[in-house]
Structure 1
Amino acid sequence: MSTAEGAPAGRPHGTSGTAVEREGTAAAVIDADGSVVGWTQGAHRLLGYAAEEVLGRPFANLLVPAGAAGRSGSAQLRHRSGHQLEVRLRISRLSARDGARRWLAAIDAHPAPRRQHESERLSLLSEASTRIGTTLDVMHTGQELADYVVPRLADYATVDLAESASLGEEPLARLGTNAGRIPVFRRAGVASIHEGIPESLWERGEPVFVPPSSPFTQVLTSGESYLEPALGTALDSWLQSDPQRAQVIGATSMHTVMMVPIQARGTVLGIAVFARTDNPAPFEQDDLVLAEELVDRAALSLDNAHRYTREHTAALALQRNLLPRRLSGGPALEVCSRYLPADMDHGVGGDWYDVIQLPGGRVALVIGDVVGHGIHAAASMGSLRTALRTLADMDLPPAELLTRLDHTVARLAQADTDSLTNSPSAACSILGATCLYVVYDPATRLLDIAAAGHPPPVVVTPAGEAAVQQIPSGVPIGLGLGLFEPAQLEIPVGSLIALYTDGLVESPAEDIESGMRRLAAVLAHPRLPLEELCAMAVDAQRTHSPTDDVTLLLARTRSSRGTGTFMPARRTTPSGK
């Protein structure tokens, strides 16, 4: 308990060591003149006044006149923030060795206000669960937390993520130092009651620099929250080495601050900072408890978003490394491609494409889509592309190649399934995939085509006649059925061949057939450069947010004579059947 007479060494804010103090009861010691000579931490938490604000002053200054009192047997005290608090006041005589007369005023908050406070706290936490973490985007989640606590709890709030919490960007450790400061955080969220956020030195997405010795780094390394009820008293300590922050704190009248670590699964992801400027009430222990609960709820969403972002980034990097970096159709074809990964809410898929040189100047065009999203889909895509290239080196007809690919994948999947008996953590390599395999022969101007459950190609003649080709659709790769039928199409010189995945032609507003017709109409400009046609086709589908990867492969023939007619080819019988 703090007293006007000072406290013994090693016992801050306490002189008596009584049970009252140890239990955290709100209480004041009053002398014969009615002045406050003792003030507990419990009283500080309940009424908001620090000991130095009440010691030596009349206790009556805290009392609301009796005419404004509430129920019988209760009293009303003035809270530091200005509102009135209904309490039960119990006065008892204290015995003192010096014979001086003193009284103990024990202050008990009424159960009803406590229940109301608890109800409001639970309501705030319940609403937070629906307002924070609405997406799997780290930056968006950080901003949701900052927006929610302003002005409900704070006048200004920031959410800064540690360098270990990858945002899919360059690691902060590679950003270097600035004026001897260490880049520890990146700002993910910031909010203020003031327009323009004058309290913030950094915008969202920017690295936040802090002194090596400060409450920020202390919270980050210890995982413990930090409460500074009166920020002005700290201006002579850590803020001396941070003049920029000190200047902003003074200019915005920032007077109280809380710093709460954002932790999940034993890892500190970052730090949330809460401050008050216009609200005169200092932060108290109850405010810190509420802030910690809000941050804990947000931390789970941030951790999920962080883990998803990390996996999404890794899957995207893996897929891009597995896809061909340079395409060449040789003297037979001019080729161009586009690949756009799905948005953050759906993740990287398993799209792939390839252009393969074959004997006799022929060229194979390949496009496919592995079922699923994320790391597994990207890795499966790489395995499937490698297997297909190996079979392409055998110069098999398209239908036979898909049959052998189907059997190979089915055997691998069965082997993985069998391994689950001995290793439950094992996973099937490929759960299923679609594929379209087209071989162009410049000598005959023939396209040999086979599909494994994949959308058919679009062919545009030099005259601008665009059509979705009607070919046997087949079944997806991985079922082991081997039901693939060949087809042939003779095309004229300068024809355009378009292979694509369903992400380009599917949308919530139209079925896939309508999307394919729309794509054909967009490509019906045979004289345009392939790069321009690719851009037009992709831009045409951006009226909706893609739920799957978007992949397009265009090829224009460079061969000689011919007219275009479609003719079914005889079915290729797989070897061994």
Structure 2
Amino acid sequence: MNNDMGGQRWHVTAVVDSGGKIVAWSTGASRLLGYEAGEVVGRQAETLLASVPANVRRACDAGQEWRASAVAVTHSGQRLELMIDAQPLARAEGEPLWLLAASPKAGVDDVTLKQWAMDQLPIAVLVCDNDERVVAANNAFTALLNRSEENLHGLDLADVAGHTASDAEAIPTLAHQARVTGDVMHHQTFTRSSPRAVRDRSWSSVLFPLKDPAGRIRGVASAVYDTSVEYWARQRLALVNEASIRIGTTLDIERTAQELADLGIGQYADFAVVDLLDSVLSDTDADVEAAAPSGPLRFRRCAYASVPDGPQAAEIIGSRCVYPEDSPQAQALVAGRAVAHRFQDGRFSVLVEGDAERAQRIGPDANHAALLVPLQARGVTLGLAQFYRHRIAEPFDDEDVHLAWEIGTRAALCIDNALRYSRERTISVTLQRSLLQQTAPEQSAVDVATRYLPAGAGAGVGGDWYDVIPLSGARVALVVGDVVGHGLRASAVMAQLRTAVRTLADVDLAPDELLTQLDDVVLRLPSEPSEPGTAPGGTDTTEISATCLYVVYDPVSRHCSMASAGHVLPAVATPDGKVKLPDLPVGPPLGFGGLPFEIFEFDLPEGSVLALYTDGLIESRDRDLEAGQMLLCEVLSHSAGSLESTCDALLDTLQHEPRSDDVALLLARTQALDTTHVATWDLPEDPEVVAQARKRATRQLSNWGLEEAAFVTELVVSELVTNAIRYGGGPIQLRLIKDSTLICEVSDASNTAPHLRRARVFDEGGRGLLLVAQLTDRWGTRQTRAGKTIWAEQVLTPSAG
């Protein structure tokens, strides 16, 4: 018991008789000194003291009250200085008793402090015996369950755990393991703060055995503390980390916006939409100015996400919407920071106020909180992300606002990167397409159909190209090539190589010789001056590599010759439905230098189809080149229709999104010029044959109905045959070809090519080729195996044709 003496609270320690023996021992005395009543009753009180004050005995003999300072020895052997106050008590028999009250001289005793610490500990503590029944609980635990300690006393631990943990069966199991093993057990559980809330509260528990001084386990205790703040801080950090992984996986704008909307649905928000400014998406040619939005804001809906029972987006993906100047969305954009809203009526109709049609599309809802996050990157406002809650009971707090702003900033950078890439890709594709041949040139050697498909958004535009180049003698050159790499540089290199091929084709080189010259061009490209800063010294040292296939087809002889510089083999489909890959020796890619290219020649039946393509057509992630070529041959063998439909069939069969490489495809169906369009004469090395040659040519023109071209043709034949006899030598051949133009060719055995020169006044010769050049539309020389051929073309007038 306790007693109040002199206004000070004292712990009654003991009652002693006149002989100094202890006859009564209070609970307070046990707590203070650690002795149980059975251990001290009957003992001399002096045995509990280290020393006895001298005036105590005189006061006791006189039967007077006394007060003194003494040092007591506790049960554990500690020395405790006490203030002792003694009062005499009268007994019926007349023998006095003494009531001794004491308290620590320095202040509150250790036992009391321990008790206060347990009672006031903010961590909930529950103590159970070996039968796992509750014997004690501190104030924090009783407050957690809203039940008194007396109400909990004697309850089974499993019953109590059912009120503190969602997985109640785990607590008794861990308590049992703690008692059996003597180890400390840890546990974490989650409970909802209210039936409507989705967000759980996190509770961490420590279960540990209680041992007596001998080390025997007498019970088990559990300490439970709320770790929700730390848990949700970790969850927010995890969400930020997840955002860095999940947002911006591609350079697709809509995909990136959807990744932002999907993030945290069900955990952070119940409904989300992402709107980008229409001006941002429409501006493909220049960067958006970093100006604060003003006036009615026009957006384009790019993404939305919702929990299963959430509201639907008012606008479908891709549709446009307008937010008035006084709307919360506009205010958030003007403020340039994330803004949280809470709607007391449980609705967010204020966000669509003044737009009855849009409000009707949204329909009734129960959203009670909104978070509006401007998407800004590099000083540019791109759009707005909106997050709403209806299942999650808690409103958006400051931590949520900071989290949304950080995630929105990351997402905005990814969207801005996608926008910049989209603009660059648009420029690259436009440049690439403008550099490619837009329409096939007029020629009679082949019918052609072409396709070009840029790579998918993740790969960038490459350097694939195709070309159809008319050559002399009604022949045609078919070209397809592929520059290694992607982007604007690949397109620029492609343009250079395409120009080089056209220039070399005008020289009428054989395919293997043309590739040799083109290889030298590629080797010189990296050492040419580039933009400042690309490399030390002002030059770009990046190696350039490319593949190329060059094919020449002659419709008169139906002869085909080709050479490959590291390019995939073409396919040849004959009119009988057979498809094969020519046994063409494939040389090294362009840019290696010093290695030869080989030519492959064969004849083609009229109506054969040549398929030239880049490796992007036949190769994919799940298919190698060989399998792709087999599939291409199979499609060609069953495509007897138009070339355009065959192109579509090839792309439909071989191409699947997303493409990792560009695709260039050129199909050419061969034509033939028969004897009705070609006249050939072998001429002797005799100057007198010139007149006969003119007559033969005039007669042939008459048969073709080209009398109007006879005058010029006679002059051309006379000059070219005379040059061949005088400077070339036999065998000499004259050939006339009626195509879209009238072609006159004279072949001889000399490899020396003539050239134009301006004759002086008294020169007898030197004017012939000048006349030919002035009277015809084109003229030139090409080397042959037997010598050379000089040719000249005249454009036929409609009446002459």
- Change beyond 3 A, Cα 1:157–1:505: same
Alignment equivalent of 1:547, drawn from 660, 669, 689: 660
Alignment equivalent of 2:300, drawn from 186, 191, 199: 186
Tell me the residue number matched to 1:514: 627
How much has 1:229 moved relative to structure 2? 2.2
Note if 1:127 corresponds to 2:127: no
Note if 1:326 corresponds to 2:439: yes
Alignment equivalent of 2:640, drawn from 500, 508, 527: 527
Note if 1:455 corresponds to 2:554: no
Note if 1:293 corresponds to 2:406: yes
Tell me the residue number matched to 1:257: 370
- Change beyond 3 A, Cα 1:488–1:248: closer
CA distance in 1 between partners of 2:144 and 2:228 (Å): 20
Indicate conservation of the 8 Å contact 1:155/1:279, yes or no. yes
Q: What letter corresponds to residue 145 of structure 2 in structure 1?
A: A
SS in 2 for 1:208: strand
CA distance in 2 between partners of 1:239 and 1:231 (Å): 16
CA distance in 2 between partners of 1:418 and 1:318 (Å): 19
CA distance in 2 between partners of 1:237 and 1:112 (Å): 36
Deviation per CA, 1:413-446: give whole Å up to 9, x if none. Answer: 1124797687678646872111111111111111
Query: Structure 1-normalised TM-score?
Result: 0.72
How much has 1:133 moved relative to structure 2? 2.6
Indicate conservation of the 8 Å contact 1:404/1:482, yes or no. no
How much has 1:248 moved relative to structure 2? 6.2
Deviation per CA, 1:18-55: give whole Å up to 9, x if none. Answer: xxxxxxxxxxxxxxxxxxxxxxxxxxxxxxxxxxxxxx
Between structure 1 and structure 2, the one with the greater Rg is: 2
Q: What letter corresponds to residue 187 of structure 1 in structure 2?
A: R
SS in 2 for 1:552: strand
- Change beyond 3 A, Cα 1:398–1:71: farther
Tell me the residue number matched to 2:257: 142
Number of residues paired by the alignment? 471
How much has 1:167 moved relative to structure 2? 7.7
CA distance in 2 between partners of 1:86 and 1:540 (Å): 55
How much has 1:259 moved relative to structure 2? 0.8
CA distance in 1 between partners of 2:317 and 2:365 (Å): 20
Tell me the residue number matched to 2:745: none
- Change beyond 3 A, Cα 1:156–1:543: closer
Q: What letter corresponds to residue 149 of structure 1 in structure 2?
A: G
Larger RCO (CA under 8 A, 6+ residues apart): 1
Tell me the residue number matched to 2:523: 410
How much has 1:557 moved relative to structure 2? 1.0
Indicate conservation of the 8 Å contact 1:365/1:438, yes or no. yes
- Change beyond 3 A, Cα 1:64–1:251: farther
Tell me the residue number matched to 2:380: 267
Query: Structure 2-normalised TM-score?
Result: 0.53
How much has 1:220 moved relative to structure 2? 3.3
How much has 1:544 moved relative to structure 2? 7.1
Q: Mean Cα displacement is larger for which, 162-171 or 151-160?
A: 162-171
Show the 5 A alignment for 1:182-221. 182=296, 184-194=298-308, 198-221=311-334
Show the 5 A alignment for 1:146-161. 146-161=261-276
Alignment equivalent of 1:66, drawn from 135, 138, 143: 143
Deviation per CA, 1:49-79: give whole Å up to 9, x if none. Answer: xxxxxxxxxxxxxx9983626999xxxxx89
CA distance in 2 between partners of 1:371 and 1:231 (Å): 62
Alignment equivalent of 1:499, drawn from 612, 621, 624: 612
SS in 1 for 2:229: helix
Tell me the residue number matched to 2:504: 391
Identify unmatched segments of 5+ residues in structure 2.
1-139, 150-192, 204-224, 289-293, 676-783, 787-801
Indicate conservation of the 8 Å contact 1:199/1:252, yes or no. no
Indicate conservation of the 8 Å contact 1:459/1:495, yes or no. yes
Q: What letter corresponds to residue 322 of structure 2 in structure 1?
A: F
Q: Mean Cα displacement is larger for which, 325-334 or 422-431?
A: 422-431
Percent identical among aligned pairs is 42
Indicate conservation of the 8 Å contact 1:328/1:334, yes or no. no
Deviation per CA, 1:95-145: give whole Å up to 9, x if none. Answer: xxxxxxxxxxxxxxx884322221222223233333333322221121122
Indicate conservation of the 8 Å contact 2:297/2:323, yes or no. yes
Indicate conservation of the 8 Å contact 1:167/1:306, yes or no. no
Q: What letter corresponds to residue 459 of structure 1 in structure 2?
A: V
Indicate conservation of the 8 Å contact 2:239/2:264, yes or no. no
CA distance in 1 between partners of 2:533 and 2:341 (Å): 55
SS in 2 for 1:505: coil
Tell me the residue number matched to 1:277: 390
Q: What letter corresponds to residue 302 of structure 2 in structure 1?
A: A
How much has 1:486 moved relative to structure 2? 2.1
Indicate conservation of the 8 Å contact 1:492/1:561, yes or no. no
Indicate conservation of the 8 Å contact 1:460/1:526, yes or no. no
Tell me the residue number matched to 1:163: 278
- Change beyond 3 A, Cα 1:235–1:348: closer
How much has 1:401 moved relative to structure 2? 1.9
Tell me the residue number matched to 2:232: 117
Q: What letter corresponds to residue 533 of structure 1 in structure 2?
A: T
Q: Mean Cα displacement is larger for which, 295-304 or 515-524?
A: 295-304
CA distance in 2 between partners of 1:488 and 1:167 (Å): 52
Q: What letter corresponds to residue 66 of structure 1 in structure 2?
A: A
Indicate conservation of the 8 Å contact 1:462/1:526, yes or no. no
How much has 1:396 moved relative to structure 2? 2.1
CA distance in 2 between partners of 1:182 and 1:404 (Å): 61
The alignment yields a C-alpha RMSD, in angstroms, of 3.9
Show the 5 A alignment for 1:456-475. 456-475=569-588
CA distance in 2 between partners of 1:317 and 1:484 (Å): 33
